Chain A
Amino acid sequence: MRQPLLALLAKEPAHGYELKLALEQTFGQAYPSPNIGQVYVTLKRLEQDGLVCSQDVAQTTRPNKRVYELTPAGRKALNEWVEEPSDGPRIRDEFFVKLILAPMAGLADRMALMNKQRRHYLGLMRRLTELQADTDPADTPARLLIEGAVLHLQADLDWLERCLEEFV
């Protein structure tokens, strides 16, 4: 939540509720809708760390609002975040560890483990396909997020076949 808020503030100063709305509009269905309390808490922490500063702006009909703005330190932190490559998704190492260890311990045979895992992946894939069908095609971030999940899952299945070829 920290970096997305900094990124939005790099565009223009804003208050908490505007930031929540901007996140929802930008990501559509693809981003966990932030709870407003969480937004305020994060902004307060960012201010404590010197990455944003704020001032009260008086409003005539409503209580004052606190408008946040990026500090030079905040801009530097944001630039570093954008510049550094992000980690790729990790291999599902829990299944891999099971696959290696369970047969050694005489707990299960590999073919059975792989069959069970494949069934699970296919169930996941069915759910993703349904989700894809239910998603507004105009919601590009959501569409791309699901497509990413589909491609990762396909890779997991291909990898499972490779394990099958090597182990059985």
Chain B
Amino acid sequence: MSRSRLGEARGNAQGRSGGTGPPGGEPSPLRHNTALLRTSGLVKTYRTDGVTVQAVRGVDIELAVGEFVAIMGPSGSGKSTLLHVAAGLEPATGGEIWLRGERVDGLSTASWAVLRRRHIGFVFQFFNLLSNMTVADNVELPALLAGATARQARKRREELLAELGLAEKANAAPARLSGGEQQRVALARALANEPSLLLADEPTGNLDSSNTRDVLRLLGRAHQAGQAILLVTHDARVASMADRVINLFDGMVADDAKVVPLPRGMNGVRDVLELRG
């Protein structure tokens, strides 16, 4: 929260439920079952030095099974906070989170960890690989933690690394890899347990353009294979691949719309000159 204007606007310490979510009414149970992820009136408040800052102010979002949704918005708009709260990495201050038809916002830290292991893959901007383990161990770990046998974990790891073009790096330390390679390993790790939901926080934020293209291709392929993806990004190339883009502003949803590609039927690259003209 670098923007002081936000602090001022919300500085007056209100109660815990300062959100603008629907007043009290329980949404219909049908919707709980259809959405893979749903938040309702989600609020996240930080208190530092007696100042209260609402990073997320009553956000309702929904993600269907197999859907790819990108969250955009200016820095400080609450995008990353929303993602972290939705993943249970930080507790919500108010509102509800439903995952696979179950309400999860009240879970304990330990229960969240179990839930994430089985159903949520998370990719960070700065990869967050375990530096004292090999690439192979990094990718196998989540499966082992989730109770897979060593043989199963190894098989899955081999498949994933081969698919991401990293088979020959299996025994390397993460630090020996380029940024793009590390992010592909992080993606492999996130996909290791075949999660229902892949969450990613600026997955290309630290990559150059050719590595970005690689990660994009992998995300596209995962999505085509039915992987549900919710990611935060500044990169319009990433966002434009999504089915839907949600734009956050000041901790609230400012826009939520399908990405509608321009009609094809142009003559190809030559039209780019006119496209941009």
Interface flag for B241 (CB, 8 Å):
yes
Known contacts A129-B237, A157-B236, A115 near B257 by CB under 8 Å: yes
- Across-interface contacts of B216 in A (CB, < 8 A): 129
Known contacts A146-B269, A147-B209, A122 near B240 by CB under 8 Å: yes
B56-64, B81-89, B113-121, B259-267: which lies at the A interface? B259-267
Residues 143-158 of chain A, each 1 if its beta carbon lies under 8 Å from chain B, else 0:
0011101101110011
Total contacting residues, chain A, CB less than 8 A: 41
Would B247 and A32 count as touching, CB distance under 8 A? no
Question: Within the complex, what minimum Cβ distance (angstroms) separates A147 from chain B?
Answer: 7
Interface flag for B272 (CB, 8 Å):
yes
Most interface-central of B236, B239, B273 (chain A CB within 10 A): B236
Q: How far is the CA of A59 from the CA of B167 in the complex (A)?
A: 61
Q: How far is the CA of A158 from the CA of B249 in the complex (A)?
A: 14
- Across-interface contacts of B47 in A (CB, < 8 A): none
Chain A residues with a Cβ under 8 A of chain B: 28-33, 89, 111, 115, 118-119, 121-131, 134-135, 139, 142, 145-147, 149-150, 152-154, 157-158, 161-162, 164-165, 168
Would A125 and B237 count as touching, CB distance under 8 A? yes
Would A152 and B276 count as touching, CB distance under 8 A? yes
Residues 57-75 of chain B, each 1 if its beta carbon lies under 8 Å from chain A, else 0:
0000000000000001110
Question: Within the complex, what minimum Cβ distance (angstroms) separates A57 from chain B?
Answer: 32
Total contacting residues, chain B, CB less than 8 A: 32
Interface flag for B30 (CB, 8 Å):
no
Would B272 and A131 count as touching, CB distance under 8 A? yes
- Across-interface contacts of B247 in A (CB, < 8 A): 115, 118
Q: How far is the CA of A127 from the CA of B209 in the complex (A)?
A: 18
- Across-interface contacts of B90 in A (CB, < 8 A): none
Would B239 and A125 count as touching, CB distance under 8 A? yes
5 tightest Cβ-Cβ pairs between the two chains A and B: A125-B240, A126-B261, A29-B269, A115-B255, A126-B240
Q: How far is the CA of A85 from the CA of B93 in the complex (A)?
A: 56
Would A124 and B235 count as touching, CB distance under 8 A? no
Would B270 and A146 count as touching, CB distance under 8 A? no
Would A126 and B241 count as touching, CB distance under 8 A? yes
Q: How far is the CA of A28 from the CA of B270 in the complex (A)?
A: 9
Known contacts A30-B269, A115-B254, A154-B236, A122 near B262 by CB under 8 Å: no
- Across-interface contacts of A29 in B (CB, < 8 A): 268-270
